[in-house]
Amino acid sequence: MDFSLSEDQQAVQKTVRKFVDREIMPHIETWDADQHFETGIIEKMADLGLMGVCIPERYGGQGMDYNTLAIVCAELERGDTAFRTAVSVHTSLNSMTLLQWGDEFQKEKYLTPQAQGRKVGAYALTEPNAGSDVAAMQTRAKRDGDDYILNGSKTWISLCDVADHILVFAKTSPEDGHKGLSCFIVERTFPGVSTRGFKNKLGIRAGNTGEVFLENVRVPGENLVGEEGEGFKIAMSALDNGRFSVAAGAVGLIDACIEASVKYANQRETFGKPIGKHQLVQQMIAKMTAGYETSRLLVFRVGWLKNQGWRNTRETSLAKWYACDAAFNAAVDAVQIHGANGYSHEFPVERYMRNAKAPVIYEGTREIHQIMQGEYALGYRKDKELRRNLPPWPFEKEGEVSQGQE
C-alpha cells in the first residue's frame, strides 16, 4: 500500500490551499453574513481547472485521478463548505454522471463545457415530499413525439440559481415505482424552467440552494440520460460520486477545526496555563485528529476503488457517514474549546458548526447510511453490476473504447 500523494496531487493540493487562503479566507465571513454566493470563485476555479479535475482531457477536464478530486474538495472545505458543495454538485453529481451514463452527443454538448468550467451543472432529485424516499417523487415526464414534457418542482437544489444545466429526475411511468424514473438534462434557458434561492439557511450561507420549478418544459429526447426507467440507478450511482466528494470535504472541515482549536488552545490561558495543557481539552483535539485520519483513509480507499473502476457503493456510504459525523463532532468540540468566543462571529468555528450539519443530512442522511451499512453487514443488501461504469483511471486516450462502454 502506498499512502503518499503523487507529485501531481501534492501540486494540486498546494495550488488549492493557496487559492483558498488568498481568494476565499479574506472574504468568507462577509459572504456568509450577507448570504452571498460569490460566482467569481467558480470562474477562478474554472481557470485553475478545478471544475473538471477528474474528467478525461478529451472531454475538457484535467484527466487527473479520482483522489485528486478528493484533495480539491478537502482543501476547498477548509475554506468553506459552500465552494466544496459547488464542486460536489457540479463535478461529482452532474459531470461524473454524464461521464458514466451519457452518450457521446451529451458528453460533447454538456460534459465538455462543464469540465472546462464554462457551464455549471446541478443535480435535482429532492422534492418537497421526496427526500430519502426518492421513489415518492411527483415530477412527471410525458413523451410527446421525440420530446418529453416535464412538470413538477424540486427543492433544496444546490446551485439552483447558478447552474446552466440541471440533471432532473422525473417519473416516466409512475406505476413502476423506482423503476419508473428517468434522468434528463434540462437547460436553464428551456421555457418553463424557473428557480428561487433560499435565504436564512442554518449553514452554508455563502452557498446557493433553493427550488427548481418545471412548468410544461419541453426537453428533447436526446437529453434523456441512459434509458427510460434507468433514472433510479443513475441517481444512486451519481450519489456514489457525490458522497465521495462530501466525505472528502468533511476531512477538510476537520482540518480547519484542528487548525483553529490548536491555535486557540495555545493562546487562551486559564488557571495559569494555556488551555491546551488541560487534558480534557487535549481529549477533544485528540478525537478530532482521530476523526481526521480515519476519514481521510476511508476517503482515499474509495478514490482508489474508483481508480480501479470497481463498484464502491458500500465503501462510499461508510466514508460519507463516518467523515460527516466526525466533522460535525469536531466542529461542536471546536466551539467548545473556544468557550464563549466560539459562540461569536469573531471566530470561524461557529460557521464550521453550522456548515457541518448539512452534510450529515444531504446525499443520504446519517440514518440512511447506518441502515445501508447494517444491511450490507447482515447480507440483506448486495450490489449488482451496473450497465455503465465510471471509467477507471488512468483514462484511455481518444479513439480507444473501454470495456462495458458502447
267 binds ligand FAD (CB under 6 A): no
Q: Smaller CB distance to ligand FAD: residue 5 or 135?
A: 135
Residue (70 or 162) nearer to ligand FAD, CB: 162
When the beta carbons of 123 and 304 are compared against ligand FAD, the nearer one is: 123
Catalytic residue among 259, 315, 363, 367: 363
Q: Which of 259, 272, 321, 273 is nearest to 295 (CA)?
A: 321
Q: Is 52 in the site for ligand FAD (CB under 6 A)?
A: no
Nearest CA to 372 out of 207, 243, 184 is that of 243
Question: How many chain residues touch ligand FAD (CB under 6 A)?
Answer: 21
Q: How many whole angstroms separate alpha carbon 251 and alpha carbon 248? A: 5
Distances from the Cα of 66 to the Cαs of 56, 106, 109, 278, 366, in angstroms?
11, 21, 23, 40, 24
Whole-angstrom distance, CA of residue 3 vs CA of residue 38: 35
The verdict on 209 binding ligand FAD (CB under 6 A) reads: yes
CA atoms within 13 A on the CB side of 157: 31
Q: Does 358 bind ligand FAD (CB under 6 A)?
A: yes
Scanning 99-107, 225-233, 356-364, 389-397 for contacts with ligand FAD by CB under 6 A, the matching segment is 356-364
CA gap 6, 226 in Å, rounded: 35
Residues 328, 355 contacting (CB under 8 angstroms): no
Binding status of residue 246 toward ligand FAD by CB under 6 A: no
Interface residue with ligand FAD among 52, 60, 63, 131 (CB under 6 A) is 131
**46 lines the binding site for ligand FAD (CB under 6 A):** no
Binder to ligand FAD among 59, 101, 110, 123 (CB under 6 A)? Answer: 123
CB of 319 to ligand FAD, least distance (A): 17
Residue 124 in the binding site for ligand FAD (CB under 6 A)? yes
Cα dist from 401 to 54, 217, 406, whole Å? 18, 35, 8
Strands (E), 34-180: 121-124, 140-144, 147-158, 165-171
If you compute the radius of gyration of the chain from its CA atoms, what whole number of angstroms results? 21
Distance CA 109, CA 129 (A): 32
Residue 138 lies near ligand FAD (rule: CB under 6 A): no
Burial of 394 (0-12, 13-18, 19+ CB in 10 A): exposed
Q: Is 181 in the site for ligand FAD (CB under 6 A)?
A: no
Binding of residue 361 to ligand FAD (CB under 6 A): yes
Interface with ligand FAD, residue 157, by CB under 6 A? yes
Question: If binding is defined by CB under 6 A, does position 204 make contact with ligand FAD?
Answer: yes
Give the x-and-dash track for 364-393 against ligand FAD (CB under 6 A): -x-xx--x----------------------
- Report the C-alpha gap between 404 and 100 in whole angstroms: 11
Nearer to ligand FAD, 64 or 160 (CB): 160
| 363 is annotated as an active-site residue | yes
Q: What is the spatial distance between Cα 52 and Cα 12, in angstroms, rounded to a whole number? A: 13
Q: Closest approach of Cβ 268 to ligand FAD, in Å?
A: 32
Residue placing its CB nearer to ligand FAD in the complex, 215 or 367: 367
Q: Does 262 bind ligand FAD (CB under 6 A)?
A: no
List 125, 150, 217, 305, residue binding ligand FAD (CB under 6 A): 125
What CA–CA distance (Å, rounded) separates 276 from 261?
9
Give me the half-sphere count of Cα atoms (radius 13 Å) on the Cβ side of residue 267. 10
| Residues at the site binding ligand FAD, with contacts judged by CB under 6 A | 89, 123-126, 131-133, 156-158, 204, 209, 358, 361-363, 365, 367-368, 371
Active site residues: 363
